[in-house]
């Protein structure tokens, strides 16, 4: 069961209408290492992970939905006042033809999100290493997005999200050690 | 969009709650991998109590933050009222 909290995890402000930046941000919305992929990856893996790290996968997976909402808010705010001409100039003309200003789970190139972006191997260490890699890849993309805009308000929210990737990666690394230690302990009689 | 008027304190109060909740998210993830850290646990429980108080104050003024019975509502049903998070 999940319960919605009617507020963002961290404030999202933008200082200008910028549909091109919105298009780039879609990488973290419906991209391979984006927030949707992250949430669905962790919340699916938790059913076959050892008990000691189920809590962590549940909580990080849940936090990812809060990040997904922040990205959606950025895209919404950056495009809501955009004219058709501005959308076309930003490379979002095809999106407008399909769905007006609606959001869609696609990456920055317009490729729809697919479940093949995520894995569940059933091997705890393999799954956690995938999770660490996903966090590091998302962190890298956040840095590149920060580099692509001069909007300091937007940068502030993106920096928050970049830091969360670092913390999640750290926690997953600790989970790896917990599982290794647990295995060692079980060998001692 | 018929957004109700938000007073000057809205953003400051919202940010206060976001700060408390952020500390609680951080402590939750930390405790998930450090379940025996008593200091962190004490900080968690203390902040959880503060959060409950702050959320209650916020909801009395600006309406429910959660539903399915986790928040109260005045009449008429307040949950459906704007603003939603991306509208502020």
Summarize pLDDT for A120-159 with one digit per residue, the tens. 999 999 999 999 999 999 999 999 999 999 999 999 999 9
| Contact call for B86 and A3, based on CB within 8 A | no
Question: Contacts of residue A11 in chain B, CB cutoff 8 Å?
Answer: 11, 14-15, 18
Predicted confidence at residue A189, as pLDDT, reads 64
Rounded-to-integer distance, Cα A89 and Cα A53, Å: 46
> Could you report the per-residue pLDDT of A29-71, keeping only the tens digit for each?
999 999 999 999 999 999 999 999 999 999 999 999 999 999 9
Q: Is residue A59 a part of any domain in this protein?
A: yes
Chain A residues whose C-beta sits inside 8 Å of any chain B C-beta = 3-12, 53, 55-56, 59-60, 63, 69, 72-73, 76-77, 167-168, 171, 174-175, 178
Distance from CA of A117 to the nearest CA of B (A): 25
Please check the confidence at residue B30 and state whether its pLDDT lies above 60. Answer: yes
At A187, the pLDDT band (50, 70, 90 cuts) reads confident
Q: Is residue A131 a part of any domain in this protein?
A: yes
Pick from B18, B26, B84: which is nearest to A10 by CB? B18
Structural domain for A88, as ranges: 19-112+119-187
Pick from A3, A60, A178: which is nearest to B66 by CB? A3
Rounded-to-integer distance, Cα B24 and Cα A59, Å: 11
| Phi-psi map region of B68: left, alpha, beta (phi>0 left; psi -120 to 50 alpha) | left
Please check the confidence at residue B1 and state whether its pLDDT lies above 80. Answer: no
Contacts of residue A35, defined as CB under 8 A and 6 or more positions apart, other chains included, come to A28, A29, A64, A65, A67, A68, A71, A138
> Could you report the per-residue pLDDT of A66-124, keeping only the tens digit for each?
999 999 999 999 999 999 999 999 999 999 999 999 999 999 999 999 999 999 999 99
Which residues of A are part of the catalytic machinery? 35, 64, 67, 135, 165, 168
- Helix axes B10-33 and B38-62, enclosed angle (nearest 10): 150
Which residue of A lies nearest to B86 if distances are taken between CA atoms?
A: A73
Q: Is residue A1 a part of any domain in this protein?
A: no
| Contact call for A7 and B85, based on CB within 8 A | yes
> Could you report the per-residue pLDDT of A158-183, keeping only the tens digit for each?
999 999 999 999 999 999 999 999 99
Pick from B25, B33, B67: which is nearest to A174 by CB? B33
Which residue of B lies nearest to A172 if distances are taken between CA atoms?
A: B33
Give me the residue spans of the domains in chain B.
10-87
Q: Is the pTM of this model over 0.80?
A: yes
CATH of the domain at A25: 1.20.1260.10
Give CA separation, A109 vs A18, A83, A99, in Å.
Answer: 17, 20, 16
At B4, the pLDDT band (50, 70, 90 cuts) reads low
């Amino acid at each position: 069961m999940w319960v919605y909290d009617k507020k963002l995890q961290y404030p999202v402000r933008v200082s200008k209408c910028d549909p091109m930046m919105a298009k780039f941000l879609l990488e973290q919305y419906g991209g391979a290492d984006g927030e949707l992929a992250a949430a669905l990856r962790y919340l699916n893996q938790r059913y076959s992970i050892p008990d000691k790290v189920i809590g962590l996968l549940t909580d990080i997976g849940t936090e990812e939905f809060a990040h997904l909402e922040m990205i959606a808010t950025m895209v919404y705010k950056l495009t809501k006042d955009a004219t058709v001409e501005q959308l076309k100039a930003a490379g979002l003309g095809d999106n407008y033809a399909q769905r007006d200003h609606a959001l869609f789970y696609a990456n920055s190139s317009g490729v729809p999100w697919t479940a093949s972006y995520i894995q569940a191997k059933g091997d705890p260490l393999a799954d956690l290493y995938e999770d660490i890699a996903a966090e590091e890849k998302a962190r890298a993309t956040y840095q590149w997005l920060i580099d692509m805009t001069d909007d300091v308000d937007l940068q502030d929210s993106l920096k928050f999200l970049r830091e969360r990737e670092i913390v999640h990666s750290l926690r997953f690394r600790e989970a790896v050690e917990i599982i290794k230690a647990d295995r060692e302990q079980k060998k001692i009689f | 969009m018929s957004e109700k008027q938000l007073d000057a304190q809205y953003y400051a109060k919202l940010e206060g709650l976001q700060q408390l909740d952020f500390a609680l998210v951080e402590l939750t993830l930390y405790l998930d991998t450090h379940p025996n850290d008593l200091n962190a646990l004490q900080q968690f429980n203390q902040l959880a109590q503060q959060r409950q108080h702050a959320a209650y104050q916020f909801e009395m003024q600006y309406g429910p933050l959660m539903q399915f019975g986790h928040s109260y509502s005045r009449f008429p049903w307040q949950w459906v009222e704007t603003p939603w998070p991306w509208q502020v």
